[in-house]
């Protein structure tokens, strides 16, 4: 099969982890007789530096004219620490999600046996945890009206959701639950927020109409944040809005042992983008210490999207094997660590065996 892939390496460690994901995809090409083309485009701080715009028109064109998009990371401290910056790298990613209508972000989290005793949480808490977060990605407070008073003393962000926005992502989450352990937890703040109450009534209605065989429950986000680290194996599919999903997915990454392992897919009805959940880790850029596995597993999710299931499994097994043999970057293998490139090469080699 031939597939065209748009590649947005982005900022910080983005280019390093993307290079390893490409290496692994090239091993898949060879092993399974596929051909992939990679078309690079600029986004984030890299794009601001080159064009003044975090998401140049040309980049959107590259994204829409390929079969899928592989994305590295975004963000640069020279913008983070400057409250007066008019353009920010993150705007590029947010604008791309919006432009391509990537309304659903899927973030799987599982505990790796080999890392359980190294994880910050106790073995008995995380053993057997296997969950997936469905995060709404193009609405809510991220995209609501933003206001700043002229004197700069007051600012607000509006959290707005429509039934339609909730329904489309909820369908995908319910469908995922039917293919997993048939349980869906809606995470919201319905005791305080009107938008959360709309989530509750809409999801309840959808459940009654189409997915009554799925076990549905509800948790307030503050309690969910606690439950996630107290007893993560109670969860199967978590469905939530944009901001809550952003926060609890970083939290959930602790279960997996490192944020450097968490992959994600951002999908809409037409386009799909695959991205690690970690950021650009600028302090780690250029040092060969970034964990490439989250991006490599995001590439595996991309292969699933292409219906290349055997190939995706091959990446996942190679990753498991690598982790089990303690071949890891310092975040998961502090005693004896390997570089970003070594980990990527090891995974590629295993695929080619």
Smallest gap from Cβ 183 to Mn ion, in A, equals 24
Smallest gap from Cβ 161 to ligand IPM, in A, equals 16
153 is catalytic: no
User: Could you tell me if 184 and 237 are in contact, meaning their C-beta atoms sit under 8 angstroms apart?
Assistant: yes
Query: Given the complex with Mn ion, which of 114 and 159 has the nearer CB atom?
Result: 159
* 246 touching Mn ion, by CB under 5 A: yes
* Tokens describing residue 81: 């620490």
Query: Given the complex with ligand IPM, which of 17 and 94 has the nearer CB atom?
Result: 94
* 93 touching ligand IPM, by CB under 6 A: yes
* Residue 93 binding target from ligand IPM, Mn ion, none, CB below 5 to 8 Å by type: ligand IPM
Using CB under 6 A as the binding rule, the residues of this chain from 27 to 86 that contact ligand IPM are 74-75
Query: Given the complex with ligand IPM, which of 75 and 328 has the nearer CB atom?
Result: 75
Residues 6 or more apart whose Cβ sits within 8 Å of residue 247: 221, 225
Reference 89, options 279, 290, 294; nearest CA is: 279
The CA distance from 132 to 92, in Å, is 26
Using CB under 6 A as the binding rule, the residues of this chain from 271 to 310 that contact ligand IPM are 277, 279
| Pairing mode of beta strands 35-40, 237-240 | unpaired
Among 222, 269, 287, 313, the active-site one is 222
Range list of β-strands (E), the chain? 2-10, 35-40, 68-73, 104-110, 130-136, 146-148, 155-157, 183-188, 215-220, 237-240, 263-267, 272-276
189 is catalytic: yes
The CA distance from 269 to 102, in Å, is 8
| Pairing mode of beta strands 130-136, 35-40 | unpaired
Among 79, 112, 142, 338, the active-site one is 142
* Residue 74 binding target from ligand IPM, Mn ion, none, CB below 5 to 8 Å by type: ligand IPM
The set of catalytic residues is 142, 189, 222, 246, 250
Binding site for ligand IPM (CB under 6 A): 74-75, 90, 93-94, 246, 277, 279
């Amino acid at each position: 099969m031939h597939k065209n892939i748009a590649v947005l390496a982005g900022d910080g460690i983005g280019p390093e982890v993307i290079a390893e994901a490409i290496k692994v995809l090239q091993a898949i090409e060879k092993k399974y007789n596929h051909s992939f083309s990679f078309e690079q485009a600029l986004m984030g701080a890299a794009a601001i530096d080159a064009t003044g715009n975090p998401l140049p028109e040309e980049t959107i064109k590259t994204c829409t004219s390929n079969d899928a998009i592989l994305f590295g990371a975004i963000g640069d401290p020279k913008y983070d620490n400057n409250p007066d910056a008019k353009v920010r790298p993150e705007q590029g990613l947010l604008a791309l999600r919006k432009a391509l209508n990537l309304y659903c972000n899927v973030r799987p989290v599982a505990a790796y046996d080999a890392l359980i005793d190294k994880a910050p949480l106790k073995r008995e808490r995380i053993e057997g945890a296997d969950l997936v977060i469905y995060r709404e990605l193009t609405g809510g407070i991220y995209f609501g009206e933003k206001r700043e008073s002229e004197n700069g003393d007051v600012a607000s962000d509006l959290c707005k959701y429509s039934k339609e926005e909730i329904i489309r992502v909820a369908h995908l989450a319910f469908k995922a639950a039917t293919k997993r352990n048939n349980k869906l937890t809606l995470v919201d703040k319905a005791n305080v927020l009107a938008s959360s109450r709309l989530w509750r009534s809409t999801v309840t209605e959808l459940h009654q109409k189409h997915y009554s065989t799925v076990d549905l429950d509800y948790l307030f986000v503050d309690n969910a944040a606690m439950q996630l680290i107290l007893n993560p194996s109670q969860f199967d599919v978590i469905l939530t809005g944009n901001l809550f999903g952003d926060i609890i997915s970083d939290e959930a990454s602790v279960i997996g042992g490192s944020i450097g392992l968490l992959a994600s897919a951002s999908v809409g009805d037409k386009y799909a983008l695959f991205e690690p959940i970690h950021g650009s880790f600028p302090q780690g850029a250029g040092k060969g210490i970034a964990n490439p596995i989250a991006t490599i597993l995001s590439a595996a999710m991309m292969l699933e999207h292409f219906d290349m299931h055997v190939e995706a499994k091959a990446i996942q097994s190679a990753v498991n094997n690598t982790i089990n043999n303690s071949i890891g970057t310092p975040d998961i293998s502090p005693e004896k660590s390997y570089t970003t490139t070594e980990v990527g090469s090891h995974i590629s080699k295993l695929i080619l065996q």
